[in-house]
A = this chain, B = another copy of it.
Amino acid sequence: MMKPIQIGLLGFGTVGTGVARMLTENADVIQARVGASLNLKFIADIEIKKDRGLPIDPNILTTDASMVVDDPEIDIIIEMIGGEGIAKEFILQAIDNGKHVVTANKALLAKHGNKIFKKAGEKGVDVAYEASVGGCMPIIKTIRESLVGNRIQSIAGILNGTCNYILSKITDDGSMFETALADAQTKGYAEADPTLDVEGFDTAHKLAILTALGYGMAINYDDIYIEGISKITPLDIEFAAQFGYRIKLLAISKFKARGVEARIHPTMIPFDNILSNVNGTLNAVTITGDAVGDILLSGHGAGMMPTASAVISDVVDLARNLMTGISGRVPMLACQMDRVRQVPVIPVEELLTHYYFRFSALDKPGVLSKISGILGKYEISLKSVHQKGRKTNGTVPVVMFTHRAREADVKKALLEIESLDVVGEKPVLIRIEDEKNLE
């Protein structure tokens, strides 16, 4: 019988509690599979008096995280504190002490992952982070291990359950964004300050990680284009549906000759794209590789136990390495450290895709020709034009779908159209992903 693997848990919040629960309640199955037991030696949290509904030996609770990180007996530190402050300090301290680290901290990895992985590599320890993207979906293991022989061509995913819930709610109920957000907050799917989720930053943290893994490049969060869902209206969702599309907040990255596209924005996808049927708080990712074609993973992207499941899978991976005395078995950034490249992110202005526009136009002759004249000037060719719905404040909605157009041209054209006195409100632009109709 192998000696137990000693674990220190930092952060006894929702996911930390899930991890402690799984280590306790499923200890038998874990041991049967791993061949050693995983012993939770310490749990550090500021608040150690609070009842988490778990039978935890009070002697393993401490407020002194630093003591846990410095305990020479501990093999693996699980960082569940979150944020970019002390979480980062404790991770670096654990690495310094030669301990392996498990974290779900996407914000930290998106911004400081390159440095953290470099330091871990130098110290001969692993930093595992399956739970940082897609909750229980094994997206990181799939890219790093299962698709190891593929040239990854693109990644497209629904990576934020809060946004997916809100968009599903607007779609199902026709409610306004604010109402759907309030509902998500009531149900505990959205934070009091929802900015990180609804403005797309959380999704971008995750895409930064997946993009690096997929294309063998260093993590580059700063250059990702980020647009959230707070401006999405029931009207646009209804129009989208009339033309066979659903609106999802997609994280999209594509490998191109000149670099990678990496962008987060509300996206119209056709009903026959399986991602359009992933609703509520579910997450899903499609990865396209030269050998596999498309593969899809879907599951709960957040929540106590799904996230804990991913954390435990990382802990077991590290435990298996510890039991055989190895480390660095699978490179943290998918490629060997010296093969990780700097790949530029192509500015969104150079994006070529299909667009949906909605204008509020005065209902009188010549307006459509003015708008389409400006679009034509910028070489934006239209697939279809529709005057939809009823007049409000003297204007009617005009909906247009374009052929493939260049984002920079689109932006210029919309700015010019916005300044027309026959157009009210700011025009709405939603990008379309529709591989079947690309031309």
A residues bordering B, Cβ < 8 Å? Answer: 18, 22-23, 26, 29-30, 32-35, 130, 136-138, 141-142, 144-151, 216, 274, 277-278, 284, 289-300, 305-306, 308-310, 312-313, 316-317, 320, 324, 326, 329-331, 334-336, 339
Contact = CB atoms under 8 A, between A and B. Distances in A.
19 contacts: A30-B148, A32-B335, A32-B339, A33-B144, A33-B216, A34-B148, A35-B336, A130-B146, A138-B138, A138-B142, A145-B313, A145-B317, A146-B309, A146-B310, A149-B309, A149-B312, A296-B296, A296-B299, A324-B326
A298 B285 CA distance: 10
B329 A306 contact: no
A372 B439 CA distance: 58
Contact of A146 (B23, B138, B274, B296): B138
A217 to B, nearest CB: 11
A396 B135 CA distance: 51
A157 to B, nearest CB: 13
A334 B316 CA distance: 12
A33 B336 contact: yes
A105 to B, nearest CB: 19
B334 A33 contact: yes
Contacts of A297: 295-297
Given A35-B336, A324-B329, A295 B136 contact: yes
A83 to B, nearest CB: 24
Given A32-B336, A336-B32, A148 B298 contact: no
A15 to B, nearest CB: 11
A309 B292 contact: yes
Contact of A313 (B149, B306, B308): B149
B313 A148 contact: yes
Contacts of A339: 32-33
Contacts of A290: 26, 305
A141 B141 CA distance: 9
B324 A147 contact: no
Given A26-B151, A151-B29, A216-B33, A145 B298 contact: no
Q: Please give me the 6 A-B residue pairs with the lowest Cβ-Cβ distance, nearest first.
A: A149-B312, A295-B299, A138-B146, A291-B309, A32-B339, A136-B292
A304 to B, nearest CB: 9
Nearest to A292: B136
A294 B298 CA distance: 9
Contact of A148 (B33, B151, B216): B33
Nearest to A216: B32
A130 B149 CA distance: 14
Nearest to A329: B320
Contacts of A34: 148, 336
Given A33-B148, A309-B149, A312-B149, A22 B336 contact: no
A274 B144 CA distance: 26
A151 B27 CA distance: 10
B295 A137 contact: yes
B148 A312 contact: yes
Nearest to A315: B149
Given A293-B306, A295-B300, 7 more contacts: A26-B150, A29-B149, A33-B216, A130-B146, A284-B296, A291-B306, A296-B299
Contacts of A29: 149-151, 216
Contacts of A296: 284, 296-299
B293 A299 contact: yes
Contacts of A310: 146
A313 B146 contact: yes
Contacts of A149: 22-23, 26, 29-30, 308-309, 312-313, 316
Contacts of A274: 274, 277-278, 298
Contacts of A142: 138, 141
Given A150-B309, A216-B32, A309-B147, A295 B292 contact: no
A8 to B, nearest CB: 18
